[in-house]
Amino acid sequence: MKSGFLNRKAIFLVLALVVLCMSCVSSFAATAKLVDDPHVVLRFGTVMTESSIDYEAAKRLKDILAEESNIELEIYTSAALGGEADMVEGMQAGIVDLGAVSPAIISNFIPDFSMFAIPYLVDGYEHAKKIWDSDIGDALKKQLTDRQLECVMFGDFGFRNLTNSQRSVRTPNDIKGLKIRVMQSEMPLDTWKALGAETVPMNITEVFTALQTGVIDGQENPTTAIFSNSFYEVQKYLSLTKHQYAPFTVLIGKSAIDRLSAEQWKKLKEAGARAQEYQVKRSAERAEEDLLKLKELGMEVNEIDLDAFRAAVEPVYKKYDGAYGKGVLDRIQNELR
């Protein structure tokens, strides 16, 4: 009887020790996870509004990270973290974590990115993605890394088109004398000067008021941005110039990456790839949806004389031919198309 009691007691003690050990292991694992993967808050900036494709992409990234990591993404719209150039400088300085920045603005820091802004060179997202995934794109990525930056999304912003308040534009001659807002970058300035416009560099957040007050006559953006910024309220004419294809690029600063564990950085890149896939699909859908809405809201939509526009910007192409290395533009036009 006593022997049986001792045996039961010994078994109980062993089981208790096993439970205690498992509890310790579980507690240690949980503690290790907290140490390895602390809760991190990252700030994402865009110059666009909450009705923009930028915000849709950022929200998708935020949701994926919330589901699969302990990274919290705070989204700041309408240039709350500064203009695009300000955000690049902020990422390099560790003040901003992530930002949607156009290649044309990136080119102010890394000139080779201006190749994406050459008029009529890139004919859509698939073409841009081929460039990005090639050795040409690898060189661009290395230059980002050298400047304490990485790209976590390379999506689709769409073709840029001209709007104005003065007249229908179908040929370059129709542009002469129009005051057109352009991005603060050399390539757009060269392009619109070649087309005969009076160029006015300006941050996107200032454009609506400048259009409303007549400081400028027009601007150029993809249809999604024209709609989300309500430019239809102060612009009558939309010309489908499609003069430049614009990728959607999201950058992150090295200081932000350094705050992440290796596992968190891996999850962020995976989330970026999934959000990019979603963004590309939504961008294509919205390009059509928003163009239809702009027509319904009263904008006069005009087709253009494409050959005349191409001929007018030929000097821009010639100016930059060779600027990126021998044969690079030829490869983009032919081999990578």
With respect to residue 109, please indicate whether it lies within any of the assigned structural domains: yes
| 293's tokens | 């809405």
CA 111 – CA 149 distance, rounded (Å): 15
Contacts of 7 (CB under 8 A, 6+ apart): none
Residue 80: pLDDT over 90: yes
115 lies in some domain:
yes
Which domain, by its residues, includes 248?
Answer: 38-333
Give yes or no for residue 7 having a pLDDT over 90: no
CA angle 50, 180, 292 (to 5 degrees): 50
Residue 42 makes CB contacts below 8 A (sequence gap 6+) with 71, 72, 73, 74, 97, 98, 252, 256
Instruction: Tell me the average pLDDT across 107-123.
Output: 97
Angle, in degrees to the nearest 10, between helices 262-296 and 125-132: 160
Sign of torsion over alpha carbons 285, 84, 68, 63:
negative
Q: Is the pLDDT of residue 2 over 60?
A: no
| pTM (2 d.p.) | 0.88
Task: Tell me how many domains the chain contains.
Answer: 1
d(CA 129, CA 92): 25
Rounded-to-integer distance, Cα 61 and Cα 261, Å: 18
pLDDT, tens digit (0-9, with 9 covering 90-100), for 290-320: 999 999 999 999 999 999 999 999 999 999 9
Q: Residue 26's pLDDT is what?
A: 39
For the record, the structure tokens of 133 come out as 């995934």
Report if residue 32 sits inside a domain: no
- HEC secondary structure over 136-198: HHHHHHHHHHHCCEEEEEEEEEEEEEEEECCCCCCCHHHCCCCEEEECCCHHHHHHHHHCCCE
> Is residue 23 situated within a structural domain?
no
Please write the tens of the pLDDT for every residue from 127-139.
Answer: 999 999 999 999 9
**pLDDT at position 27, please?**
39
In a domain, 185, yes or no: yes
- The torsion defined by the Cα of 115, 118, 123 and 124, in degrees rounded to 10, comes to 60
pLDDT beyond 50 at 13:
no
Q: How confident is the model at residue 36 (pLDDT cuts 50, 70, 90)?
A: low
Q: What is the mean pLDDT of residues 270-299?
A: 98
Nearest to 202 by CA among 11, 47, 94, 40: 47
- Which positions ≥6 away from 32 have C-beta within 8 Å? none
CA–CA separation, 306 and 243 (whole Å): 9
Residue 42 resides in a domain = yes
Give one DSSP letter per residue of 215-243, joined into a string: S-SEEEE-HHHHHHTTGGGT--EEEEEEE
Q: Tell me what the mean pLDDT of segment 276-297 comes to.
A: 98
222 has pLDDT over 80: yes
Contact (Cβ atoms closer than 8 angstroms) between residue 234 and residue 165: yes
Mean pLDDT along residues 151-161: 98
DSSP string across 232-279 = GGT--EEEEEEEEEEEEEEEEEHHHHHTS-HHHHHHHHHHHHHHHHHH
Average pLDDT over residues 213-239: 98
Residues 6+ apart with CB under 8 A from 57: 100, 153, 155, 248, 250, 275, 276, 278, 279, 282
How does pLDDT run across 232-244, given as a tens digit for each residue? 999 999 999 999 9
Average pLDDT over residues 210-218: 98
Residue 329 in domain: yes
Single out the residue of 120, 80, 62, 104 nearest to residue 205, CA to CA.
80
* Residue 20 covered by a domain: no
For the domain that residue 286 is a member of, what is the CATH number? 3.40.190.170
Q: What is the mean pLDDT of residues 142-163?
A: 98
Return the pLDDT at 37: 81
Res. 3: pLDDT tops 90: no
- Length of the chain (residues): 337
